Structure 1
Amino acid sequence: MPTHLATPRSQILRRLAFLTFAPFLALPTRALAADSADAVEAAYLADLPVVLSATRLQQARADTPGSVTVIDRHMIRAAGVRNIHELFLLVPGFQVGMHTGNRPLVTYHGLSDEAPRRMLVQVDGRSVYSPYFIAGVEWNQLGVDIDDIERIEVFRGSNSAAYGSNAFLGVANIITRAPFETHGGSVRYRAGDGGVNDVAVRVGRRLGEVDLRLTAARNQDNGFAGINDWRKAELATLRADWAIDHNHVLEFQAGWTNNDLGTGKDDNATDPERSSRVTTSFGLLRWRHVPAPDEEVSVTWYHQEENGHDRYGLSVPVPPRQSGLPVTIAIPFDFDYGFRAVRDDLEIQRITSPAAGLRAVLGAGMREDRLTAPLRFNSAQQVRSGVNRAFANLEWRASPHWLFNAGFMVEHNSLTGTSLAPRASANYHMTESQTLRFSVNRSHRSPIAFEQKSSMIFTNSAPVVTPVMTIPAGTPISQTFRPSPGLRAERVTTYEIGYLAELRPLHVSFDARLFLERARDLIEMRLERSTVGLVPRDNTRYFANSGEADIRGLEAVATWRPTTGTWLTVQHTELRIDGPGNPATASGAQPSAWVANSAPRHSSALFGAWEFLPRWQVSVARRWVGGMSWYSDTDHRVGAYRQLDIQLSHRLPAELLRGEVSLTARNIDGDEETFAPGASWWGSRIFGTLQVEF
């Protein structure tokens, strides 16, 4: 333990930080602090171990078994983003796009389509990996306001050993601010072109031994030009931390989101322009007992529900060549894409130090998902799936130079059976400031219920009378998805060599990661001819373990950060992906090398901020991204693009008003395609933000 933590005051500060944020560490800062406070905070941040996402243990970055990118609150504010998913533009190896103006796409190292599902995202330990349809993370339903985030820890690489299935290619832990930091009130208003009209209100109080924070927010915009993709996203969240005594803490969180979205196309007979709605509610309860340093027992339970509303009626003309009848007939449909998804998750975890130089975390948990989506599963019955898990991670400091991490996760999934995800790594501390890392791990992703059990059969909502026959109501007309029994879990084996230099006297760090990721049994969407229904289809979809990919490359990040408000980060990623696959737009008998183009071969970024005068800051983000394809090798090809974002912000004088005003310009170097040519575009956006605290 560093000697500066030996003083009673430092021990108290460390204990408070640990109690407040465990199992996720979030260090106390103030967003609008003065320069002198920032300097003190910089020293505090530099000395404490600040990474937890790697093994569930608090660790210095030099001790983790993989590369971790930390986006703290100062960086979030300087980035000038309205939406959380945009922050992943700051992380090497990530691809960020928009299917439409209200459907974000975020993936790591490619292998994705319009519904990325190979990365795990958590908010304070609550998984937001959706259990329904195809998508992995529903970014519009995270249930956290961007100003309530303390930091985001992104583990770049597979991590099923610590977090189980779905931590297939990476893990992002979104850590919110402790309520004791947000006493008082805050109002934020943002307006700009494209219909940007956002407002947020936060209130924090202390009632006895309980710290509370209540946040309400609404983000609204018109989406992309020429597309029905407007959105109005609303949320309300509550967090309460109760320090029962010096080593017991009870944390409660609750939240609600409502998203009204424009969807559909103006020239599509079965997918017309319309509005849809998705609501989410959740509750989380966590008890922690910390009897001594490096000792903790925690129990976490959360419950969440998601409800989708998207229903409309249409009469669809079917020509003779499709129906086989002598005349064109109009078939009435009642399209109801509504769903209800309920999740309960319970986990117990213990952190202990059994001997000198040894630290361990042990735990077990269970999760159950219950889905009701009659159209997607061709049944009004609930579709249930469950996961039971047990995990352990051990850190052994064998000598001043060598540190070893080992861990595993055993999961039993009701859909795919039992799987084991092991990991081992060795960190060699060449000097106090330089570390070499060697690691290998196996991760997996279990298929979600839709991939295995989907059965979308459309029936007519009323009888259809023709000259030759009458089609009764409820007759199967066509099938778009059929079940895919026997799907296995995807698996990936990762080999990594890393180098980390932290030159604190120079305020410089350098992180490099050389990796090989061998992905096998990838679940891909395939096509076949279906004879189900009056109108047979040649493109009925199903899923199969037909994909494989070898991903190799290099990620390098260099950062100079003399203060919390001034920094410069330069990063570069080289990726090569090899392996056959089958895109949804091709016949299952015609393999295509689409995986090779599912991520750009080259991408670079620069992100910097400069406090050039007291209370004044300018920040710039510049990205160079190579061409790629989100799915099909041709239909969804996106060319190389550049993106430039600039923000100017000013902290208001405290004697006038405590707050900040900023002007942000996003993507000011021109429109760029983000998913499919001619379908969706990055547009330049300029907006102003006023935030006042009291």
Structure 2
Amino acid sequence: MPISHPTPHAITLRALVALTLLFPSALPARAQLQTPDNSPDEAAYLADLPVVLSATRLQQASADAPGSLMVVDRHMIRASGARNIHELFMLVPGFQVGLHTGNQPLVTYHGLSDEAPRRMLVQVDGRSVYSPYFIAGVEWNQLGVDIDDIERIEIFRGTNSAAYGSNAFLGVANIITRAPSETRGGSLRYRAGSGGINDVKVSVGERLGNVDLRITAARNHDRGLSAINDWRTSELATLRADWAINHDHVLEFQAGWSNNDQGTGKDGNPTDPERTARIANTFGLLRWRHAPAPDEELSVTWYHQEENGRDRFALSVPIPPRQSGLAVTIGLPFDFDYGFRTVRDDLEIQRITRPAPTLRAVFGAGMREDKLDAPLRFNSDERVRHGVNRAFGTLEWRAAPDWLFNAGFMAEDNSLTGTSLAPRASANYHMTENQTLRLAINRSYRSPTAFEQKSSMIFSTSAPVVTPLMTIPAGTPVSQTFRPSPDLRAERITTYEVGYLAELHPLHASIDTRLFLERARDLIEMRLENSSVGLIPRNNTRYFANSGEADIRGFEVLATWRPATGTWLSLHHTELRVDGPGDPAAASGAQPSGWVANSAPRHSSGLFGAWEFHPQWQVSIARRWVGGMSWYADAEHRIRMFRQLDLQLRHRLPPELLRGEVALTARNIDGDDETFAPRASWWGRQVFATLQLEL
């Protein structure tokens, strides 16, 4: 049943609410730091180290962080040629990136996933975009930020629940947007290319008194993967305003709206036909920050976000005699309504202080409430509520110029699973002026989503059905596809790691190595059972259980040479071994197997480089080698090893002609690749041109 693709349409700006950033978004890539005693030797040692914010909530050098971080800055983002934010994780060691469909990206770290990765936390300026409503964790098309407004992405590789709570089970990505003060004036982007790529973005920045603000509106459109109804039209409008009340008081505000119209369903499928679905999101964030002195700050942050999904269609489903028990095939009418509405409110207070010359600390508390309306998924018109109260703290102690110790914790009271405590301890030893050895141990948890614990999907007839033997009234239950799992516990993971970081400043190079053992227990997996609920019994009704475990061990190495802002070369390699038999993580009907062993490639490598060979010209290349893996448990879904090659050529326009640049990008140019399952979907070559103008 073919359907026509809608043409890209105009962006509509709707009423938005308030908000802002958890962390300052415009920090220099290098910062001057000193030890508490202002030792000139220590100050010189730290002078050129990159500053990061996402490891402990404290501003610190990478060498002082209790884990490995990779920073993807806006120069790297531009050179990568990425249209979508999820594509940037292809540049990071240990990540698996794929496409279930062209409008459903998959991103996970160290495997343990299926078609709905849910074990990594993603934040935009401190606002969590982890969506623990249904099965998936991050809706990559609903982040509410345009890729050109990003200053950098700080990616903490490894568990970090001690700083960010239970959703930071395998890693944290903190997306930090550009400050409005850096984006004054106007800008325009237009992109077009193969696969129906047709993108446009307009941004305007102004200063009004003591307020810097930026408004961005964008729309991206493409036809998705080949031979699948997975086209996508994504729209967004965002506002950010920073008000410097005085030298130590700042009020930050953000608001946004996004909308995704996308193709879904399958040609010829009687219960999942080709159709159009829509998901819309609005958010607002407000933050007050008071920083009277260095290492002294008090902040209060509140954000509100709503997500609305629309996916409704009516069908008459044929039921053969072997299922119905009748002598003839009957048609049962259904009104499938997968629509939903979710509302989240989050309030947090945080204090950063230096209680002693050798100590720094951050502590705080917060509360979050999620409200869900999804009658079909929970078999109820009642609103499902989920609340989390939290308290956290981190203490950093510089015991000597060469030694730094860090201890942190997050205590959470979750309405679904009760109370948990996630601690962290680390020690960083600066062996020489340029080399650091790190030892760390973490314990983290992931609470089940409301869907995992409370889902109850029972399909009922929408109208009466008259058969030769009986009359089936409207509202009669027919079958059950999900049943509740009330006894679910939180997943837990304990991570041990040894890290080595070398900052070779004279060579403009760095080497970051991580050796790790991650022991995951009580993993939540989807199981199958017989069900007699409804007219038609099933042998594949889904439920969830804490039946999985995995031991993840291996190492990652990232080497970077960057002699200039626009010229660099980075190489990374990951070796992974995932062990621990369990039951299938997807509803494939397979028998119990060691699915975790295939959930990540054993070997993966990447190269990413750019060369600014002329002040107005830059060429960049990204190359990946990824071993075979399986997003599902069974052999039918195992994808082969693949390679990916991306190239881009950028030209800065002569200022006397226009202020801006043009770029030609070719992605995946070395052939089609399987991204999710053999023969199910192929990611082909993409070629597109981009025009960026500064107005």
Identify the TM-score tier after normalising by the shorter chain: over 0.9
Superposition deviation, residue 657 in structure 1: 1.1
- Residue 336 (structure 1) aligns with: 337
TM-score, L = length of structure 2: 0.94
Q: How does 1:105-184 map to 2 (within 5 A)?
A: 105-184=106-185
Residue aligning to 2:78: 77
Which amino acid is 1:305 matched to? Answer: E
State the distance in 1 between where 2:577 and 2:211 align: 51
**1:101 corresponds to:** 102
**Corresponding residue for 1:606?**
607
- What CA deviation, in whole Å up to 9, does each residue of 1:65-85 have, x standing for no partner? 000000000000000010000
Unaligned runs of 5+ in 2: 1-19, 30-43
Matched letter for residue 523 of structure 2: L
Superposed displacement of residue 635, structure 1: 2.6
Q: CA deviation at 1:23?
A: 2.3
1:592 and 1:22, CA in 2 relative to 1: closer, same or farther beyond 3 A? closer
> Which structure 2 residues correspond to residues 91-490 of structure 1 after superposition, within 5 A?
91-490=92-491
Tell me if structure 2 keeps the 8 A contact 1:25–1:50: no
CA contact 1:491–1:521 (8 Å) conserved in 2:
yes
Partner Cα distance (1:163, 1:500) in 2: 24
Per the alignment, residue 633 of structure 1 pairs with 634
- Give the distance between the partners of 1:166 and 1:352, measured in 2 at CA: 26
Letter in 2 for 1:370: K
SS at match of 1:87: helix
Letter in 2 for 1:50: V
Q: Which amino acid aligns with 1:454?
A: S
2:651 is the counterpart of 1:667: no
CA 1:435–1:441: 2 relative to 1, 3 Å: same
1:27 aligns with 2:27: yes
Cα distance in 2 for residues equivalent to 1:103 and 1:96: 11
1:157–1:169 CA contact under 8 A, matched in 2 = yes
Give the deviation of 1:614 after TM superposition.
Answer: 1.8
Report if the CA contact (8 A) 1:28-1:181 is conserved.
Answer: no
One-letter amino acid matched to 1:26: A
Q: Secondary structure at the match of 2:88?
A: helix
Contact 1:549–1:578 (Cα < 8 Å) also in 2: yes
Aligned partner of 2:12 in structure 1 is none
Shift of 1:563: 0.6
Query: 1:418 corresponds to which letter in structure 2?
Result: T
Aligned to 1:398, the other structure's residue is in SS state strand
In structure 1, distance between residues paired with 2:473 and 2:568: 69
* Distance (Å, rounded) in 2 between the aligned partners of 1:514 and 1:603: 15
CA distance in 2 between partners of 1:394 and 1:293 (Å): 16
Question: Could you report, residue by residue, the CA deviation over 1:428-452 in whole angstroms, capped at 9, with x for unpaired residues?
Answer: 0001110000000100000010000
The answer to whether the 8 Å contact 2:616/2:651 transfers is yes
CA deviations 1:85-133 (Å, max 9, x no partner) are 0000000000000000100000000000000000000000000011322
**1:586 offset after TM fit, Å?**
5.6
Does the aligned pair in 2 maintain the 1:25–1:58 contact within 8 Å?
no
Secondary structure of 2:90's aligned partner:
helix
**How far off is 1:502 after superposition?**
0.3
Whole-angstrom distance in 1 between the partners of 2:518 and 2:648: 37
Alpha-carbon distance between aligned partners in 2 of 1:633 and 1:507, rounded to the nearest angstrom: 46
2:572 matched residue in structure 1 = 571
Give the whole-Å Cα distance in 1 for the aligned partners of 2:180 and 2:448: 37
AA of the residue aligned to 2:632: Y
Q: Which residue of 1 aligns with 2:38?
A: none
Distance 1:24 1:659 in 2: 27
Q: Give the 3 Å change call, closer, same or farther, for CA 46–648 of structure 1 in structure 2.
A: farther
Residue 640 of structure 2 aligns with an amino acid whose one-letter code is G
Give the counterpart letter for 1:156 in structure 2.
Answer: R
Aligned partners of 2:514 and 2:557 also within 8 Å:
yes
- The alignment partner of 2:560 has SS state of strand
CA–CA distance in structure 2, aligned partners of residues 372 and 581 of structure 1: 33
Measure how far apart 1:633 and its partner are. Answer: 3.1
2:51 is aligned with 1:50: yes
Which segment is superposed worse, 45-54 or 341-350?
A: 45-54
Distance apart, 1:335 and its partner CA = 0.2
Give the structure 1 partner of residue 617 of structure 2: 616
Residues 21 and 285, structure 2, Cα contact 8 Å, conserved in 1 = no
Does the 8 A contact of 2:21 with 2:253 survive in 1?
no
> Structure 1 residues 22, 269: CA separation in 2 closer, same or farther (over 3 Å shift)?
closer
What is the percent sequence identity of the aligned residues? 80
Which deviates more from structure 2 when the two are superposed, residues 290-299 or residues 654-663? 654-663
| Deviation of the 1:21 alpha carbon | 7.0
- State the AA in 2 paired with 1:177: R
Residue 586 and residue 180 in structure 1: after superposition, are their counterparts in 2 closer, same or farther (change >3 A)? closer
Root mean square deviation, CA, Å:
1.3
* Inter-partner Cα distance in structure 2 for 1:255 and 1:28: 26
The 1-side partners of 2:412 and 2:133 are apart by 20
State the shift of 1:24 in Å: 4.2
State the distance in 1 between where 2:261 and 2:188 align.
Answer: 23
SS in 1 for 2:195: coil
- SS in structure 1 of the partner of residue 632 of structure 2: coil
User: Within 1, Cα distance between the matches of 2:588 and 2:145?
Assistant: 39
Distance, in Å, in 1 between the alignment partners of 2:342 and 2:632 is 27
Give 1:382 deviation, angstroms.
Answer: 0.4
Q: Is 131-140 or 102-111 further displaced after alignment?
A: 131-140
- SS of alignment partner, residue 623 of structure 2: strand
**In structure 1, what residue type is equivalent to 2:23?**
P
What is the CA deviation profile of residues 469-491 of structure 1, one whole-angstrom value per residue up to 9, with x for unaligned ones?
A: 00000000011000001100000
Deviation string, structure 1 residues 115-162 (Cα, Å, up to 9, x no partner): 000000000000001132200000000000000000000000000000
Letter of the 1:27 counterpart: L
2:21–2:127 Cα contact (<8 Å) kept:
no
Tell me the CA shift for residue 28 of structure 1. 5.5
Asked if the contact 1:597/1:633 (under 8 Å) is kept, the reply is no
Once the 2 structures are TM-superposed, how far is the Cα of residue 680 of structure 1 from its aligned partner?
A: 1.0
Deviation of residue 629 (structure 1)? Answer: 0.2
Deviation, 1:46, is 7.1
- Report the secondary structure of 2:391's partner residue: strand
Q: Residue 508 in 1 paired to residue 509 in 2?
A: yes
User: How big is the shift at 1:537?
Assistant: 1.0
TM-fit CA distance, 1:49 = 4.9
What is the TM-score with the length of structure 1 in the denominator? 0.94
* Cα deviation 1:548-575 (Å, max 9, x = unaligned): 0000010000000001100000000000
**CA displacement at 1:681 relative to structure 2:** 1.1
